[in-house]
Structure 1
Amino acid sequence: MKIDLSKKPEGATHINPHSGLWIKCFGGNSGSYQFFKDGEWEMGFGCMSNSYLEIAQPEPWTGEGLPPVGMVCEAMLPSMNHQWAEAVVVWHHPEHEGSAVGVRSGGRLTGWSSAFRPIRTPEQIAAEEREKAVFEIAHILIDNRHDSAEYHQAGRIYDAGFRKQPSP
């Protein structure tokens, strides 16, 4: 049986090699367990079977180096005009160090990428949007000088709630 880790549900620790059901173990191999069936976790009865295969749990990725296979992250994808997009790392190419293959959440193979970052938090996204807006305001005020008092004033303008309105 070939195991497709891209279909592994959150929390799965094992797989039944005979049925293909994903298993979530509690308290070691002889403890309680749940199995993933029809999109939901259901309680198992009795002791967990020793024939279930343990799934290696990836180490947390800090953003350094390549993300591990199976990791959901953001990748800069040439097939999407070099824009950042959510991707799942499918495998590392053994002959192209620093590259990996990403699959978009829709399941479509996108190709190679060598630029990855962890999924950004809403706070990080808001900070990036703020910095971009402050830069645009400052550029209008002072012709692109980051070290001036006007740049800090532009930040205060943004923080006060002033935003660029879309053109009609």
Structure 2
Amino acid sequence: MNAYHEAVAAIYDACEFAAAPISLAAALEEMSARGERVALDPDLLIALFEVHLEAIACPATSSSAWTGDGLPPVGTVCEVFNPELHRSEWEKCTVLFVGKHRIVYDSESCSERFGYVDDLEFRPILTAEQIAQKQLDEALQDIEQLYDSGGPAAVYDAGYRKQEAV
């Protein structure tokens, strides 16, 4: 058994050793109390989370409950903005692990990534109605800026016209 599998087995044992379901943090504290140490890399964090869920028989949290407040729960499909990446932009992701300081997520551009809680931004995926409303708000803001800078003539010159009903 390699060190990776030994670490996963140790976490699993710590979860099983407890009389009641415990959190991953509590399992790590239990291991520490027994003098066991584990180095945590991103792959190991994901494996530990999966073992932890199995050990406490807890399904991943439903993503429909997250409204965008606070951190997304595990299992949430949402959008993430990671300013540390070369091409920083919002991208779709699935949250795999949420810890005290780090989050592990699976993104469309690269499989599993992890980042620090304070460095990442998450938002729910916008619905078609929300996207349409955002586009309308942006267009109205553009028209308002045109009007403020040049009056009705500037709006007309920019190509905005009243639509005739058919």
Higher strand proportion, which one? 1
Larger RCO of the pair (alpha carbons < 8 Å, separation 6+): 2
Q: Into which bin does the TM-score normalised by the smaller protein fall?
A: 0.3 to 0.5
TM-score (normalizing by structure 2):
0.47
TM-score (normalizing by structure 1):
0.46
